[in-house]
């Protein structure tokens, strides 16, 4: 894979750790450091395979996790002073996670208030009988949700699949056009559906990178109805020109 992609939507290492803790319903005050380190490193390995340009802070956190893990596995050193022996090696990490979680909650609340403020000056509401049914609530999937779905698709692909009759080439550009064309026909596509249609692991990788590229270009949004649920791909409505808008703009300029 020579295609390299840099994402603006990348979260940091603390986001990944919080994601892993919540995904497996772990106790943040008693993190199983061996398990969390193994999962963290596996996600980093996937990022390296996809050539996503991992920031140095991810590697620093990996080193920190491995250091904590080694401290908890090694027997206590009798030569170390008693004050240095006391305390949980995970204490500082847990403190960082809790502070970062609170920061994210405050940021989310501020975004919600900003959204609510935009709704203050609106046209008068229609009669209750004329009101359309409220759409289902969705929220944007994180990069780690996407990587989880990608990893699962790779694991479920049979290793003995072999195509010797026709050699198929898959490119990011072609997949991008295919996905956008399908979204002209269907309002949404399930990410697992895109992966299940792939003929081999190479096509899965190209499909995944195409989805990331479309997200980066703000052409699509990856959304979920619930935390860690299925991911749906939809067009980014803010990037779609309404019918007739281009014509009206041209007439005004003329």
Nearest Cα neighbor of 22 from 222, 229, 233, 230 is 229
Predicted confidence (pLDDT) per residue in 67-80, tens digit: 998 888 776 665 55
Residue 254 has pLDDT above 80, yes or no: no
Distance CA 51, CA 159 (A): 23
Residues 211, 179: contact at Cβ < 8 Å? yes
Q: Where are the domains of the chain?
A: 1-75+87-117, 136-242
Residue 107 has pLDDT above 50, yes or no: yes
Q: What is the pLDDT of residue 162?
A: 46
| CATH of the structural domain 136-242, one choice from 3.20.20.70, 2.40.50.140, 3.30.70.20, 1.10.10.580 | 1.10.10.580
Q: What is the pLDDT of residue 234?
A: 92
DSSP designation for 222? E
Predicted confidence (pLDDT) per residue in 195-242, tens digit: 999 888 888 989 999 998 899 888 999 998 888 889 999 998 765 555
DSSP designation for 30? G
């Amino acid at each position: 894979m020579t295609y390299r992609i840099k994402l603006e939507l990348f979260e940091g290492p603390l986001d990944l750790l919080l994601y892993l803790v919540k995904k497996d319903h772990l106790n943040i005050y008693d993190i199983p450091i061996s398990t969390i380190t193994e999962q963290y490193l596996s996600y980093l390995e996937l990022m390296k395979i996809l050539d996503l340009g991992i920031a140095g802070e991810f590697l620093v956190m990996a080193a920190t996790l491995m250091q904590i893990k080694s401290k908890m596995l090694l027997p206590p050193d009798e030569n170390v002073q008693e004050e240095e022996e006391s305390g949980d090696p995970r204490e500082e990490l847990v403190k960082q996670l809790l502070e970062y979680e609170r920061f994210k909650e405050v940021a989310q609340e501020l975004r919600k208030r900003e959204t609510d403020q935009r709704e203050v000056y609106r046209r008068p509401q229609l009669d209750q009988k004329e009101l359309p049914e409220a759409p289902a609530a969705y929220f944007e999937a994180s990069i780690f949700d996407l990587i989880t779905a990608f990893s699962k698709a790779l694991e479920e692909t049979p290793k003995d699949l072999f195509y010797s009759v026709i050699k198929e080439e898959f490119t990011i550009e072609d997949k991008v056009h295919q996905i956008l064309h399908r979204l002209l026909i269907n309002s949404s596509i399930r990410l697992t559906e895109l992966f299940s249609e792939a003929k081999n692991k190479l096509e899965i990788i190209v499909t995944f990178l195409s989805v990331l590229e479309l997200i980066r270009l703000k052409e699509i949004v990856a959304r979920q109805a619930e935390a860690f649920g299925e991911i749906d791909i939809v067009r980014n409505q803010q990037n779609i020109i309404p019918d007739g808008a281009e014509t009206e703009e041209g007439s005004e300029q003329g």
